[in-house]
Each structure stands twice: as structure tokens, then as C-alpha cells.
């Protein structure tokens, strides 16, 4: 069983199980197989840099190298800014209870691009929190599944049928586009009428 997500609501710590909601569960999926002339299943292969070597599944890998080209372990890597300053990392949200001390409005929730949705299975004793969520309350908090540099924003809310739900996303960056100058409609009409007066009507000749 996956590790639960623990919320601190008031003086209670409530442990929720997560079930990710993805497109396959909503709409189903189709698995396509390619067969050769003998009805054998084809496998994906990568053409090597020499243009003639085929590398099958499991025959390639990624690795980290340092400035000298030597192999570097993940633990030896340290995140830094473009100026070379060390960057602080955040722990996984599963490492400690998440305090539900900040509420979000509907507008704030809708201003985020949601990338993941999880259905939550509540424990016994979560009725007070569930009643708040079903009444329209939305809680927000930083969320990071595995830990890292840039945590997402988590929203705890209830679905239309009352199921507690965790929506994870990032703040949407919207750029509004407008004309450099707003045209005066009266001025445009005057210009069109002036241009129309200068046109030659061949029917008058």
C-alpha cells in the first residue's frame, strides 16, 4: 500500500490514502501491437549514432557526468542558481503532516493549471473536515510528491459528489494581448468615406 498523506486539521492528524485519477481510468485506453509477417510482436529499437546499430529495450541509459566527463552520482549533485548560489530544496509532502491553516477562494483555485488529481480515502474521525469541504471550503498548501526545488500548489476540496480530492498544479501565467493603439471608430468611418469619394466610378464614363 502506498504511503498515506497526513493532514493536520485543528488538533487532529488525519491519514488519507491517495488514488491518482488519470485519463485511462476515466476513458479507458487502447493498446496497439505491431506484428511482423510471422505474427511476432515487434519491439521498439533505437538506431545508434553510427547509423547501423540497433539498440533494443534496456540497451540504453542516461547518466550524469561532471565537468571533466567523469561519472557523477545523483547524491553528488547540488542544485545552484545561474549565479552559482546554492538553492534550498523542499522535502516530500509525505515526510511530515501538512497543516491545513490556509483557505483558498474559488478564483484562486481556478487561477492554477491543475496537472494531477487524486481521490482521497478518509480515515475514521475525519467527519469535521469532510463537512467543511462538502460545504465549499478549499484548503491550499505547498505540495511536492518526491521533494525537490519547486513545490507545486495543492488544493484540498470536495468533488460534486462529496469525495475529498487533492488537486495539484501551478499558478497560471496569463499574458493579455491588446492592440498598441485603440482605433477611434468615428475616425475610421471618416477615412473610409474620404477614400470612397476619390474612387472613380467607371459606370459614369
Specify the pLDDT at position 203: 57
Residue ranges of the alpha helices (H) in 53-183?
A: 106-110, 127-134
Specify the pLDDT at position 86: 87
Beta-bridge partner residues of 20: 118
Domain extent listing, the chain: 1-29+79-198
Compute CA distances 163 → 93, 118, 133, 188, 203, whole Å: 21, 10, 9, 56, 75
* Architecture of domain 1-29+79-198 in this structure: Beta Barrel (2.40)
Please report, rounded to a whole number, the percentage of residues in the chain having pLDDT higher than 70.
86
Question: Contact at 8 Å (CB) between 11 and 97?
Answer: no
Sequence-distant (6+) residues with CB within 8 A of 170 are 112, 113, 115, 152, 153
pTM: 0.69
Residue-wise pLDDT tens digits, 136-179 = 999 999 999 998 888 999 999 999 999 999 999 999 987 777 76
Mean pLDDT of the chain: 86
Sequence-distant (6+) residues with CB within 8 A of 133 are 156, 157, 158, 164
Residue-wise pLDDT tens digits, 11-45 = 999 999 999 988 887 788 888 889 989 999 998 88
Residue-wise pLDDT tens digits, 95-150 = 999 999 999 999 999 999 999 999 999 999 999 999 999 999 999 999 999 988 88
Cβ neighbour number for residue 8 with a 10 Å cutoff:
14
pLDDT band at 68 (very low <50, low <70, confident <90, very high): confident
Residue ranges of the alpha helices (H) in 48-184?
A: 106-110, 127-134
Amino acid at each position: 500500500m502506498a504511503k498515506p498523506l497526513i493532514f493536520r486539521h485543528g488538533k487532529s492528524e488525519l491519514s488519507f490514502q491517495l488514488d491518482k485519477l488519470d485519463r485511462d481510468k476515466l476513458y479507458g485506453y487502447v493498446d496497439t501491437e505491431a506484428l511482423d509477417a510471422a505474427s511476432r510482436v515487434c519491439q521498439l529499437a533505437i538506431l545508434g549514432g553510427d547509423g547501423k546499430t540497433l539498440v533494443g529495450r534496456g540497451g540504453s541509459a542516461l547518466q550524469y557526468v561532471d565537468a571533466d566527463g567523469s561519472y557523477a552520482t545523483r547524491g553528488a549533485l547540488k542544485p545552484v542558481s545561474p549565479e552559482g548560489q546554492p538553492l534550498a530544496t523542499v522535502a516530500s509532502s509525505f515526510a511530515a503532516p501538512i497543516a491545513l491553516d490556509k483557505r483558498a477562494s474559488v478564483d484562486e483555485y481556478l487561477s492554477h493549471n491543475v496537472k494531477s488529481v487524486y481521490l482521497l480515502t478518509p480515515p475514521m474521525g475525519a467527519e469535521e473536515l469532510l463537512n467543511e469541504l462538502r460545504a465549499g471550503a478549499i484548503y491550499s498548501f505547498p505540495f511536492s510528491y518526491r521533494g525537490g526545488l519547486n513545490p507545486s500548489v495543492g488544493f484540498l476540496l470536495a468533488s460534486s459528489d462529496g469525495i475529498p480530492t487533492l488537486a495539484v498544479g501551478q499558478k497560471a501565467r496569463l499574458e493579455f494581448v491588446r492592440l498598441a493603439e485603440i482605433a477611434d471608430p468615428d475616425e475610421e468611418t471618416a477615412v473610409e468615406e474620404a477614400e470612397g469619394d476619390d474612387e472613380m466610378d467607371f459606370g459614369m464614363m
